Amino acid sequence: MISDRDIKKLKELSRIDLGSKEEARIKKDLEAILGYFEKLKEVSVDGIEEMSFASEISVSAREDEETLSPPEIASQLVEAAPEKEEGYIKVKAVLQKE
């Protein structure tokens, strides 16, 4: 199903470096995922009505809890953060300048 060429293309597109063991594991995992989709294609869905949502239950805010506005939520999140700087959450750098 999945060729080594496909894995190499995925590596290039995702810009990740993989060893041969990792490539083999990813190839196996992707083949399992695609195999599952092939199984799903075999399921008959005749007579089943289409759904726009997985659940028809309407979820609304609880009446016994205070509803916060986005700015209030943001300020609470910043206050709860272990490190803050000038009103922002301070995090470790994940990108490096070249």
The Cα 82–Cα 1 span in angstroms is 47
For residue 25 the two structure tokens come to 């594991």
Higher pLDDT, 67 or 61: 67
Mean pLDDT of the chain: 86
Sign of torsion over alpha carbons 67, 70, 75, 79: positive
Our CA angle for 49, 53, 57, nearest 5°, is 105
Phi, psi of 89 (to 5 degrees): -80, 130
Greater pLDDT, 68 or 46: 46
Report the predicted TM-score, pTM, of the whole model to 2 decimal places.
0.47
Task: Map out the domains of the chain with their CATH numbers.
Answer: 4-41 (1.10.20)
Q: Tell me, what's the pLDDT at 58?
A: 62
**Token couple for 58:** 């309407």
Residue 26 and residue 18: Cα distance in Å, rounded? 10
Give per-residue pLDDT as tens, 2-49: 999 999 999 999 999 999 999 999 999 999 999 999 999 999 989 888
pLDDT value at residue 64: 74
